[in-house]
Structure 1
């Protein structure tokens, strides 16, 4: 069959038998989406010993999504590493039975992987820590092809950010929402190394302060979207640093950053000397220090501001 993309997401009738039939019959399949197919297990992907039942699609697959497939485990990852060598995009969001050791193996082995979603999996630093034995065997390039990673609500610390900075310099999109143990030190390491970052999500990262955001302003010239919502420790200084340094920014979310004042709006007001070339959307919803009158004045000067009121 010439089927290249198949989306079976949220289909309760999908079972291991269905998946095996797809993998056996769709030899040109490149994208397989199985989000929410809660009945499938690792067995759906295990090769049959008979040559007449080869899983032909595995060699052509480039994109797979298993979000909320709660029965999948490390055995699936082992299979993907061995049989699906062309994968560039994997989504394991909410697959809580896949743990650090499996992700570590994946990063070591899937050298062409470009996008990886590990959100809501309780992943820790162990998934990203390079062991001495890895280095002796030449695994310096762990995750080097990664362009995007989603670690939303993970149990990672600065150790993971140091690893990403070291091994993944081509990252363009990093989502770290609700990673409450990261600090400014890790953010500085990340933005210093990953100069191609276009999207950075630090929503509800409680330990981030003006120091870390200042580093984003200094090194995030390519940033297009930055989410600092619920970062309660940042002040107007952070916003000024972003306004000065992130010249390509298109969207800045500052929802419930309660220390901000009208000075944060002033940082983005255009003037003849520093007129921005990019359209910028600012979200100050929940920022009680921002006055409605100042917002209206800024809007008359061309700023696109959302306040939630």
Structure 2
């Protein structure tokens, strides 16, 4: 039977006839061809890569996995009976047959290569199965979940949380128990400055933070913290904090005495201790500090009413590393024993005794020169070791006179700051020796000294070795100081950064000289992008001789663009300016002018200065009597309107609520 009638193929040992061979080839072509290319006599495929003259090679995959239920007409006949050589790869169930076809009229000379679909649709792609030995080896890899946060090292997670502020940490702690543990980890709270956030978090959270971070806390600042005023919360702090190095309890008024003493006993590593204003501090507290805190370097006990100088003496004698002692308004500093301890130790670099009303000339002499010092015959100065003091504050020590303050001269060569404000009995003689022997002096406060004169400034301060280093000078309420004393100071003290000259007799000449001094010491810039900085601050309010003319000189110099020296056609821009605190009627204009200068808008600053000067000049002319009074008043109102528009931000014509005339009630 033939293959078209659905009969079984001829066994391989039976020879085939010529027509049967051609018929089988046509069947194979019909089965393997696409439906779009029917017929045996189709044209040769263009994509045929083979150039064999006598035949073409076709590879047919006869897998055992193919379907066996196909119809007889669609079943592929056996090719083993043909004169075709078959080759199979070892270890594979798939056989590849290679056969040649002779040149025949009924058969295409070069038949195209076609893929055989075993019982599948001709439009579906051919799928070949993997060998059995490879099927067990290619198992799909299961992707496991990776928890990035849990896999991160603990130190890195703590470092991430360290960027949050205390208020944010308290909020984040409510996310989960894990976050709660991180937020209250002691490593995040080695330094607690509750003065910055105590108003933003509840008292319970603050107590919990201190309790959790107690062993890690080294710097504790509870300045003004009202949450720890309850005695139970203070006990929590004392029990938790055992390794404090810096402690500030200023303003914690309800600290109990025994609680404070327990805190002092349990922190032997204290270096800086601030107990300002605590009512629980007594002489007994000073004794406990002397016994328990040998590493103490800075101690502030100002305004503690129950502490006396004899209690501080125990700390001075026991704490050999003490460098900074602040005991403002502490009683009993007329004690010679305390003064002698300060002299013998000679370790203090900062001594603050402001408001100590008991301090007298004798005690101050003992602090500086000791008891019965040896006097040099040639110079008349005591022969004593130089004091290490760098800052000395004796302001408001009302019992001090010129005789006692003279003892400071020639014994404190390293002095940088001296405050004698409020010692009203001091004269020029008290300061002459000090100015001549302190070349490093940078801060000098002589506020409210009625007896000093211009001679002290012009003959001693301006010629002193510290003139070039002086940065801050306070002469407020020194009513005898005027231009004769301040003009030489402005010329010689070229490093001055601030000067408080309110309630003195200086005039506009001092302001002009200050502006000239700033211009001389500044380095002008050739580019307009450089923003000026305030390098000198002057307080000249309540000075009767200072007028708007001097204020205008300052404003003009702050925004002045000058020609470049040695560069024809070049210009330079200011890099330094003066900040003024003046009469309240001028202050708004001065502030607006300074804003424009600091942001680099020198043109707008100059325009504001000119319009303000026109307004002030027209206002003065309107106040004069005689003919043309109405015209001058009209011109003054117009100048005032222009200045008001410019002061509003430089928008000409901007309207605002203002009164041109004076108020009849006021």
Normalising by structure 1, we get a TM-score of: 0.89
* SS across alignment from 2:444: strand
Q: Which residue of 1 aligns with 2:580?
A: 305
Q: List structure 1 runs of 4+ shifted beyond 6 angstroms.
A: none
Q: Which residue of 2 aligns with 1:51?
A: none
Deviates more, 1:266-275 or 1:186-195: 266-275
C-alpha deviation, 1:147, in angstroms: 0.3
* SS across alignment from 1:280: strand
Equivalent-residue separation in structure 1 for 2:582 and 2:518 (angstroms): 26
Equivalent-residue separation in structure 2 for 1:285 and 1:197 (angstroms): 26
Equivalent-residue separation in structure 2 for 1:94 and 1:174 (angstroms): 18
Q: Which residue of 2 aligns with 1:56?
A: 292
From 545, 550, 562, give the equivalent of 1:289.
545
Equivalent-residue separation in structure 2 for 1:100 and 1:245 (angstroms): 41
* 1:281 to 1:200, Cα distance in 2 relative to 1, 3 A: same
From 392, 396, 399, give the equivalent of 1:149.
392
Deviates more, 1:291-300 or 1:179-188: 291-300
Deviates more, 1:179-188 or 1:272-281: 272-281
RMSD over aligned Cα atoms: 2.4
> What are the within-5 Å matches in structure 2 for residues 140-219 of structure 1?
140-141=384-385, 144-154=387-397, 155-214=399-458, 215-219=460-464
Deviates more, 1:69-78 or 1:268-277: 268-277
User: Contact conserved, 1:198 with 1:222, CA < 8 A, in 2?
Assistant: yes
Equivalent-residue separation in structure 1 for 2:450 and 2:583 (angstroms): 22
Q: Which residue of 2 aligns with 1:40?
A: 281
C-alpha deviation, 1:187, in angstroms: 1.4
* SS across alignment from 2:473: strand
C-alpha deviation, 1:23, in angstroms: 2.6
> What are the within-5 Å matches in structure 2 for residues 228-243 of structure 1?
228-243=475-490
From 88, 96, 100, give the equivalent of 2:331.
96
* 1:153 to 1:246, Cα distance in 2 relative to 1, 3 A: same
User: Contact conserved, 1:153 with 1:177, CA < 8 A, in 2?
Assistant: yes
* 1:164 to 1:113, Cα distance in 2 relative to 1, 3 A: same
* 1:99 to 1:192, Cα distance in 2 relative to 1, 3 A: same
Equivalent-residue separation in structure 2 for 1:56 and 1:264 (angstroms): 55
User: Contact conserved, 2:491 with 2:517, CA < 8 A, in 1?
Assistant: no
Question: What are the Cα deviations for residues 62-106 of structure 1, in whole angstroms up to 9, with x where unaligned?
Answer: 001011101111321221122111110111111134435255224
C-alpha deviation, 1:107, in angstroms: 2.4
C-alpha deviation, 1:20, in angstroms: 2.5
Equivalent-residue separation in structure 2 for 1:262 and 1:272 (angstroms): 16
C-alpha deviation, 1:283, in angstroms: 0.9
* SS across alignment from 2:247: strand
Q: Which residue of 2 aligns with 1:269?
A: 515
User: Contact conserved, 1:70 with 1:97, CA < 8 A, in 2?
Assistant: no
Question: What are the Cα deviations for residues 282-309 of structure 1, in whole angstroms up to 9, with x where unaligned?
Answer: 1101101100232023222023221141
Unaligned runs of 5+ in 2: 1-241, 375-381, 524-533, 559-577, 585-666
* SS across alignment from 1:279: strand
Question: What are the Cα deviations for residues 8-61 of structure 1, in whole angstroms up to 9, with x where unaligned?
Answer: 11212224323322332112111110110123210123259xxxxx9332x100
User: Contact conserved, 2:392 with 2:417, CA < 8 A, in 1?
Assistant: yes
Deviates more, 1:271-280 or 1:18-27: 271-280
User: Contact conserved, 1:210 with 1:234, CA < 8 A, in 2?
Assistant: yes
* 1:221 to 1:18, Cα distance in 2 relative to 1, 3 A: farther
C-alpha deviation, 1:152, in angstroms: 0.8
* SS across alignment from 1:128: helix
Equivalent-residue separation in structure 1 for 2:583 and 2:269 (angstroms): 47
Question: What are the Cα deviations for residues 249-294 of structure 1, in whole angstroms up to 9, with x where unaligned?
Answer: 100110100x221111122122798345792111101101100232
* 1:308 to 1:92, Cα distance in 2 relative to 1, 3 A: farther
Q: Which residue of 2 aligns with 1:76?
A: 311
User: Contact conserved, 1:299 with 1:305, CA < 8 A, in 2?
Assistant: no
* 1:262 to 1:102, Cα distance in 2 relative to 1, 3 A: farther
1:135 aligns with 2:385: no
User: Contact conserved, 1:17 with 1:44, CA < 8 A, in 2?
Assistant: no
Q: If you compute each CA radius of gyration, which structure gives the higher value, 1 or 2?
A: 2
Question: What are the Cα deviations for residues 158-177 of structure 1, in whole angstroms up to 9, with x where unaligned?
Answer: 22332111221111000111
